[in-house]
């Protein structure tokens, strides 16, 4: 018995096959994500749900850029090495829930402690928020100043100006002198290192404008 090709809608058949394959792949991704979420012992259902919903996302490459804004519509990986997958080398999912820039220092500290688990996380968080909004958040005092030095030491040359501007806005906090007074010896050493590193990089770039900025800021950080 011969089949007649003219009665078969091959485009529709191909579409249905692709749909079935995608459904199977989606089920597998989300099922794996559920096991990872359970393994991480998510504190809330929202965290569990976000991990599952983001199961299809691929890690961002180092060269990818995301424009800073007030809101993101879903979780994303803030960084990823080209040679690692979404789980990272530690085997823990590097999925973040940064959906809104903190309104004040208290909320910033909550997000910082909850979601920033590495130096690179912390650095990326600061760069995402940006100097202007950081200035509004820390307009009175900078309680995490020592942590910020450690994170900013991870800076990339492409963020050179933003790092300088970030240090400048911190120094403009009303009780900034008090923040500097309470720095530990290790934190003061990191402060010295980052200013020296910035100065060297700015000199190599021949950037007189930002060299002047960093020179003026040094006195507020009590550096010679």
- Contact between 190 and 146 (Cβ < 8 Å): yes
Q: pLDDT, tens digit, for every residue of 24-40?
A: 666 666 666 565 555 55
State how far the Cα of 2 lies from the Cα of 194, in Å rounded to an integer.
78
- CA 149 to CA 151: how far, in whole Å? 5
Distances (CA, A) of 210 to 18, 155, 167, 195, 207: 55, 16, 12, 12, 6
CB 223 within 8 A of CB 195: yes
Chain segment 166-223, per-residue pLDDT in tens: 999 999 999 999 999 989 999 999 999 999 999 999 999 999 999 999 999 999 999 9
Is this structure's pTM higher than 0.85?
Answer: no
Cβ neighbour number for residue 116 with a 10 Å cutoff: 20
Q: Is the pLDDT of residue 48 over 80?
A: no
Q: Enter the DSSP assignment of 42.
A: -
pLDDT at residue 84, rounded to an integer:
34
For residue 92, name the pLDDT band (cuts at 50, 70, 90): very low
Mapping DSSP to helix (H, G, I), strand (E, B) and coil, where does residue 102 land?
coil
SS3 helix, strand, coil % of the chain, rounded to 5? Answer: 60, 0, 40
Six-digit token pair at 100? 């809104």
Q: Return d(Cα 50, Cα 73) in angstroms, integer.
A: 11
CA dihedral over 134, 135, 140, 146, signed as positive or negative: positive
CA 166/CA 67 separation, integer angstroms: 17
Confidence of residue 16 (pLDDT cuts 50, 70, 90): confident
């Amino acid at each position: 018995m011969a089949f007649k090709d003219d009665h078969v809608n091959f485009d529709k058949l191909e579409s249905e096959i692709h749909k079935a394959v995608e459904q199977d792949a989606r089920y597998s991704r989300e099922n794996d994500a559920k096991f990872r979420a359970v393994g991480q012992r998510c504190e809330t259902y929202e965290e569990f749900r976000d991990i599952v919903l983001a199961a299809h996302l691929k890690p961002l490459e180092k060269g990818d850029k995301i424009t800073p804004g007030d809101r993101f519509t879903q979780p994303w990986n803030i960084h990823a090495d080209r040679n690692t997958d979404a789980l990272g080398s530690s085997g823990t999912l590097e999925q973040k829930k940064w959906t809104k820039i903190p309104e004040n220092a208290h909320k910033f500290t909550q997000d910082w402690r909850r979601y920033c688990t590495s130096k690179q996380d912390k650095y990326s968080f600061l760069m995402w928020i940006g100097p202007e909004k950081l200035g509004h958040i820390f307009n009175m005092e900078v309680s995490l100043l020592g942590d910020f030095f450690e994170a900013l030491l991870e800076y990339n040359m492409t963020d050179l100006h933003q790092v300088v501007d970030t240090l400048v806005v911190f120094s403009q906090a009303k009780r900034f002198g008090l923040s500097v007074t309470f720095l530990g010896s290790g934190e003061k050493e990191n402060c010295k290192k980052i200013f020296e590193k910035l100065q060297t990089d700015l000199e190599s770039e021949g950037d007189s404008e930002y060299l002047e900025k960093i020179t003026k800021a040094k006195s507020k950080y009590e550096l010679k």
